Chain A
């Protein structure tokens, strides 16, 4: 089973928020969807799960169109980041009512797990969503995502507002669920380094385009930070894909992404360091720094 989107374009007020995005999500993986604010992450997840219509392009699950197709939709769950403002009416809804509606619509809803997670997160079901903190709202979205038991589960900023203990609990729960069921999870997050260990594949979205989709470790392994005197650095990284240049006086640092078979020429007087996922992401999507 795989979820495929082809040439997705989503336009808001004449601006292409998603620009011909094509993607294949295979079964049994944990994907990380990362990108800067406004990159189009939530829009992409909304389109993939038919919560919002695409301006053009197609989304299929096992060859079936997802749009208005109950058979495909029941295999998907997008637990979106909740914004319980008065305008949406969610603020007045109680936690138990929100969960009851989700339980009605997800056929595989795990009631036992719902109770267990409510206890773990110390969530009061009689509280209104509008009275919950940002972190508690994230807990509600995590409960919906995990208890839905949907083969493809999408989480939008699931750890937003969570303290470090709750974040650790979430990653542990996610890995337990993944090990037990082999469900596919797609997680959009800004807390990249923390999530890096659980993300098997990474998708980097930048200004509505996919820059990278592939194995997280392979992506991180391909990146190097090269620093030294500007002329040495320039010579060492000649012919390599250079991103994110830091210039401090006469010193220079660049991040390079190596293709198979490529290496940094270390015969020059430069320092070559490995980078982590967050640094690699910043190198790809960040602005260049110059002092």
Chain B
């Protein structure tokens, strides 16, 4: 199990690198496209404080994208690769769950610490909804993984589902960029708004249900999984 954890820890670190690069890109886009006036401050403090307090929001958006993409990627490439390297399926199953947990935990801890270290109105609001953010990440992880399972089991159905899903996400992202939704003030409003709109117990129930279905489907598939490179 030790080498299995070593592999998945390294894979998580590489995934985090991708996440941080995506976050950097979002921060850059938002900074370039924002009204320079925002640097004068939104909450009566330095504009840079607000700016830094929003960086974890971009990290979470990047995490959602990476987690959704990693689900299908892991299932089509890494899981069969580890089977072909002689690792028992149950070890792979638990190692993979460890990787998912680590990814969600690392993202949440980085975001939480940043908000703790940069006190502002936005940081306070975001910290208060951290459990909701974690729940959201778990939902994304399960959804991405279910897409991966669908692709492995029913290739065409999974492919159509992925194209639709990522197409909608891409379209939404494009619409956000074109309408200024990624600009700092818009993001801060969105972030603050999220804390009040969605009741977290509903998300928690959805996360638990999706996770249970995902784990069940994944184990059923993995038990009979065939390596076909």
B86–A89 CB distance below 8 A? no
Query: Chain B contacts of A93 at CB under 8 A?
Result: 77
Q: Say yes or no: A73-B229 contact (C-beta < 8 A), given A53-B224, A104-B3.
A: no
Q: How many residue-residue contacts, CB under 8 A, span A and B? A: 67
Chain A residue with the shortest CB-CB distance to B87: A105
Query: Chain B contacts of A90 at CB under 8 A?
Result: 77, 81, 229
Q: B38-46, B56-64, B88-96, B173-181: which lies at the A interface?
A: B88-96
B153 at the interface (CB under 8 A from A): no
B73 at the interface (CB under 8 A from A): yes
A73–B227 CB distance below 8 A? no
Query: Chain B contacts of A50 at CB under 8 A?
Result: 86
CB distance from B149 to the nearest CB of A (A): 15
A80–B82 CB distance below 8 A? no
Chain B residue with the shortest CB-CB distance to A98: B81
A46 at the interface (CB under 8 A from B): yes
Chain A residue with the shortest CB-CB distance to B11: A101
Report the Cα distance A93→B81, complex, angstroms.
Answer: 11
Query: Chain B contacts of A102 at CB under 8 A?
Result: 85
Tell me the chain A residues, 262-281 only, with Cβ under 8 Å from chain B: none
CB distance from A136 to the nearest CB of B (A): 15
B128 at the interface (CB under 8 A from A): no
Report the Cα distance A104→B5, complex, angstroms.
Answer: 10
Report the Cα distance A90→B85, complex, angstroms.
Answer: 14
Partner of A80, one of B89, B224, B229: B229
A82–B85 CB distance below 8 A? no
CB distance from B229 to the nearest CB of A (A): 5
- Chain A: number of interface residues, binned into ranges: 20 to 34
A68–B89 CB distance below 8 A? yes
Report the Cα distance A88→B152, complex, angstroms.
Answer: 10
A94-117 near B? 1/0 per residue, CB < 8 Å: 000000011011110000000000
A78 at the interface (CB under 8 A from B): yes
B: number of interface residues (CB 8 Å): 24
B77–A51 CB distance below 8 A? no
Report the Cα distance A277→B90, complex, angstroms.
Answer: 43
A101–B85 CB distance below 8 A? yes
A89–B91 CB distance below 8 A? no
B86–A52 CB distance below 8 A? no
Partner of A88, one of B6, B76, B89, B90: B76
Report the Cα distance A7→B17, complex, angstroms.
Answer: 48
Query: Chain A contacts of B227 at CB under 8 A?
Result: 46, 51-52, 80
Tell me the chain B residues, 190-225 only, with Cβ under 8 Å from chain A: 223-224
A104–B84 CB distance below 8 A? no
Partner of B3, one of A69, A76, A105: A105
CB distance from B216 to the nearest CB of A (A): 18
A39-63 near B? 1/0 per residue, CB < 8 Å: 0000000100111110000000000
B13 at the interface (CB under 8 A from A): no
CB distance from A246 to the nearest CB of B (A): 38
CB distance from B127 to the nearest CB of A (A): 38
A77 at the interface (CB under 8 A from B): yes
B161 at the interface (CB under 8 A from A): no
Partner of A105, one of B80, B85, B229: B85
A77–B86 CB distance below 8 A? yes
B88–A73 CB distance below 8 A? yes
A126 at the interface (CB under 8 A from B): no
A207 at the interface (CB under 8 A from B): no
Report the Cα distance A50→B84, complex, angstroms.
Answer: 9
A122 at the interface (CB under 8 A from B): no
Q: Say yes or no: A49-B77 contact (C-beta < 8 A), given A70-B91, A83-B229.
A: no
Chain A residue with the shortest CB-CB distance to B227: A51
CB distance from A160 to the nearest CB of B (A): 13
Query: Chain B contacts of A77 at CB under 8 A?
Result: 86
Partner of B77, one of A83, A89, A104: A89
Query: Chain B contacts of A76 at CB under 8 A?
Result: 86
Report the Cα distance A102→B86, complex, angstroms.
Answer: 9
Q: Which 10 A-B pairs have the closest CB atoms?
A: A89-B77, A105-B85, A73-B86, A51-B227, A52-B226, A68-B88, A104-B7, A104-B3, A70-B88, A89-B76
Known: A70-B88, A101-B7, A107-B3. 7 other contacts (CB 8 A): A46-B226, A50-B86, A53-B224, A77-B86, A88-B228, A102-B85, A104-B7
Can you name 14 A-B residue pairings with CB atoms under 8 Å? A46-B226, A49-B86, A51-B83, A52-B226, A70-B87, A82-B229, A83-B229, A87-B76, A88-B77, A88-B228, A90-B81, A105-B3, A105-B82, A105-B87
Mark A residues whose CB is within 8 Å of B. Answer: 46, 49-53, 68-70, 73-74, 76-78, 80-84, 87-90, 93, 101-102, 104-107, 150
